[in-house]
Amino acid sequence: MQVDISTDEQLLHYIVSEDPAEMEALFQAARETRARQFGRKVYFRGLIEFTNYCKNNCYYCGIRRGNQNVARYRLTPEEILDCCHRGDTLGYKTFVLQGGEDPWFTDARMVEIISAIRQEFPDHAITLSMGERSRESYQALYDAGANRYLLRHETADAVHYSHLHPQEMSLSARMQCLYALKEIGYQVGAGFMVGSPFQTPETLLEDLRFLRRLRPQMVGIGPFLPQGDTPFGQEPAGSLELTLRMVALCRLLLPKALLPATTALGTLSPLGRERALQAGANVVMPNLSPLGVRAQYALYDNKICTGDEAAECRACMERRILSQGFVPDLSRGDYPGIAQ
């Protein structure tokens, strides 16, 4: 069965279709596209959750400012560097520094941290995921040696965005950040949750239309999962099938994109990440954070991988990749065609 997604009507059709044969054709097409670009390779990114302080109050997020039940932590520059060393020993060539929007990490401090990592690991990729900052700030961090930046757009529909975030946050500010990051020269990651409250097939279509315009190098897609202490704590989780479908559609729209099989998918379902690999994903992000802080980076309830040593996480990912007929690949895994 031919999969045609050249018009918005066709995209919307695949978002809402209830025909199992159509879905199988979609996943098959996504697998084939992924294989043409990447063969059987799955890339590794070592994830360092370096702070759970956040000045924002996103309604869905477990580490939002208003959540008084979070024991807050910040890794020291030395601890961050230790994580990088552990990651390097495990063979990872990409470090992802992710955290809440924590004003303690000023440009001066971040430049120092990034420069230190860059000096010790000249050939590794440094990915940042620390929210909205000024263009000047993004430029300074890039000049210090960061290569990639993950900033999910969360939803490309402005009204939906306003239902997920307090008034001081806006979709236009988020989009400005994404375009600035791209102009500076970062490999950029956008993305969204599937099943967030107030989401509709039309807002999901808008997400895909936005991705088609932005053409990011990476797209993080995971299910919304409730966290009990947030305003959305009693809302239902997103659906596994719809999340996989969005991964597959994203693969077809952006054939060269780096798409993670997200931890949230693994939390929603024991084989969620494996299913994502079969739907076109080609990246895994094993955790490198110190064991003592893992549970405190609780974006949602029941998050997996909070009790495993970094080496166990790596072995676990490797097994999962091999079980699906894919091949773990420890190279940097840049966007195809990008000069390092």
Binding residues (CB under 6 A) for ligand FES: these are: 54, 56, 58, 61, 63-64, 100-101
User: Two tokens at 205?
Assistant: 């279509």
222 binds, among ligand SAM, ligand FES, none (CB under 5 to 8 A by kind): ligand SAM
Pick one of 300, 320, 326, 328: the residue that binds ligand SAM (CB under 6 A): 300
Indicate the residue among 107 and 318 with the shorter CB distance to ligand SAM: 107
Among 164, 225, 240, 288, binds ligand SAM (CB under 6 A): 225
**Count of residues interacting with ligand SAM (CB under 6 A):** 19
CA distance 292 to 208: 38
Binding part of the chain for ligand SAM, among 78-86, 109-117, 220-228, 283-291 by CB under 6 A, reads 220-228
* Binding partner selected for residue 64 from ligand SAM, ligand FES, none, CB under the kind-specific 5 to 8 Å limit: ligand FES
The reply on whether position 101 binds ligand SAM by CB under 6 A is yes
Among 80, 151, 164, 284, binds ligand SAM (CB under 6 A): 151
CB of residue 212 to ligand SAM, shortest distance in Å:
20
Options 44, 48, 87, 100; binder of ligand SAM; rule CB under 6 A:
100
Q: Which stretch binds ligand SAM (CB under 6 A): 26-34, 123-131, 241-249, 332-340?
A: 123-131
Distance in Å, CB of 56 to ligand SAM, minimum: 7
List 98, 147, 199, 287, residue binding ligand SAM (CB under 6 A): 98
Nearest to 3 by CA among 21, 213, 216: 21
Q: Do the Cβ atoms of 176 and 184 come closer than 8 Å? A: no
Residue among 41 and 64 whose Cβ is closer to ligand SAM: 64
Measured CA to CA, the distance from residue 133 to residue 149 in angstroms comes to 11
CB closer to ligand SAM out of 147 and 227: 227
Indicate whether 216 belongs to the interface with ligand SAM (CB under 6 A): no
Q: Does 222 bind ligand SAM (CB under 6 A)?
A: yes
Binding residues (CB under 6 A) for ligand SAM: these are: 60-61, 98, 100-101, 129-131, 151-152, 154, 193, 222, 224-225, 227, 264, 299-300
